Amino acid sequence: MGVTVLVGTQWGDEGKGKITDLITGEYDVVCRYQGGANAGHTVIANGHRFGLHQVPSGVMYEGVVPVIGNGCIVDPQILVEELDMLAREGIPTDLLKISGNAHLVMPYHKDLDGANERRLGKNLIGTTRRGVGPTYADKASRLGLRVQDLQDEKVFREKLETALAEKNPILELVYGLPTYTVDQITELYRPYAKRLQPYIVESSRYLNDAIDAGKSVLFEGAQATMLDIDHGTYPFVTSSNCTAGGAITGSGVGPVAIDRVLGIAKAYLTRVGSGPFLTELPQGDPIGEMLCEVGHEYGVTTGRKRRCGWYDAVVVNYAARVNGLTDLAITKLDVLGCLDEIKICVAYEADGVRYETVPEHQSIFYRAKPVYMTVPGWKCDISGCRSFFELPREAKDYIDLIEQLSGVRVSLVAVGPDRDETIDRHWR
């Protein structure tokens, strides 16, 4: 399978987990390259359903090596809890590798994430409050602690002291929150350091050696293109590069190693948190409610109800460009099965100008209106279809239209939540 990057093309929750689950077993190594415990992936083991946030989903597949790359951030408390949970379920985790260069989420990052959101009031980002923004901010400010610092308590304490000299006054004087001592956090993190020690590696070297040895690698993106800090709807984004370029910097593997970039797009559109969403259906709209209920559109990490709307081809076309997509997987096509007709946004219009790509200026993006094409629905259950030719004509036309508007071939189509409820057109 070579080296593949898997990315979300919309605002996250495209069903990346389902596609990852479908293809992971074909890879030797699965590496997460950005984000932290803000991502959520539901897995089912021994009849139990649970969410994984830090451990890459590759852990669920025997023989697959899960890697947490240097571009990720690690909340050791959540990671250790997940490792304990996997151990209780009898799922081995001994192959896991964690980059020593990944940054650590500290207790004050979580406090500051919540405090920032409260300060923003109605302008809040709607973060997952997992400390993501403050951790990446400290990484950029060179005030962060890294996973490798867990291996040397002296260095850990020194760096922590420097960080607390800035954090404590902010916590206390700006937000009126409790402060921390070096001893307090060192005590808290010491057991995590001991527990995580066996997993810490130089992951760039590990990955490059694996590729040189002919192993296949799947880079698993979290969040999505429109939540990317550079290419998304800033400031309503996460704090890392979710796009395919992030797989390079977030892993230490060179760009020519990448063979394919698979974009995941939901057959309609959802978003959690704040920020523009041009094709959003208004609260209470019966079609929006239907998409939410039939599509189970509630967040894995926060349980929040997702905002729902029509498929936006402008966004996916943009994602094709900024990620260099070679293939698309369309998910949840079955959810549209009860609609008489389906709208698809083919362009935007603002101030009399038509935009077929995401307008560069945020103000235009905010006031633009979607231009819709209306196509007939198929009005039937398609979850039993296993080949493209079995799909009703209207569903095939819908996929063809998506392909035409994105300029990327649709290689996979998901028609239900189970692994086998998928149509493979060109992937394998």
> Catalytic site residues?
13, 41
272: contact with ligand IMP by CB under 6 A: yes
Least Cα distance to 167 among 156, 179, 159 occurs for 179
Q: CB nearest ligand IMP: which residue?
A: 273
Other beta carbons less than 10 A from residue 361's beta carbon: 8
**Minimum CB distance to ligand IMP smaller for 273 or for 416:** 273
Q: Which of residues 344-403 bind ligand IMP (CB under 6 A)?
A: none
Write the DSSP assignment of 31-74 as a string of letters: EE-SB-TT--EEEEETTEEEEESSS-GGGGSTT-EEEE-TTBEE
CB of 178 to ligand IMP, least distance (A): 22
Residue corresponding to tokens 């800033």:
234
Q: How far, in Å, CA of 214 to CA of 73, rounded?
A: 28
CB of 211 to ligand IMP, least distance (A): 27
Q: How far, in Å, CA of 328 to CA of 330, rounded?
A: 6
Phi, psi at residue 307, to the nearest 5°?
Answer: -75, 140
- The span of 56-64, 123-131, 352-360, 404-412 binding ligand IMP (CB under 6 A) equals 123-131
Q: Which of residues 215-254 bind ligand IMP (CB under 6 A)?
A: 222-223, 227, 236, 238-239
Contact 38, 135 (CB under 8 A): no
12: contact with ligand IMP by CB under 6 A: yes
**Minimum CB distance to ligand IMP smaller for 4 or for 270:** 270
Q: How far, in Å, CA of 308 to CA of 163, rounded?
A: 40
CB of 182 to ligand IMP, least distance (A): 26
127: contact with ligand IMP by CB under 6 A: yes
Phi, psi at residue 356, to the nearest 5°?
Answer: -105, 0
**Minimum CB distance to ligand IMP smaller for 32 or for 146:** 32
Phi, psi at residue 6, to the nearest 5°?
Answer: -110, 125
135: contact with ligand IMP by CB under 6 A: no
Q: How far, in Å, CA of 314 to CA of 358, rounded?
A: 6
CB of 296 to ligand IMP, least distance (A): 14
160: contact with ligand IMP by CB under 6 A: no
User: x-or-dash pattern for ligand IMP, window 18-47, by CB under 6 A?
Assistant: --------------------xxx-------
Chain residues binding ligand IMP by CB under 6 A are 12-13, 38-40, 125-128, 130, 132-133, 222-223, 227, 236, 238-239, 272-273
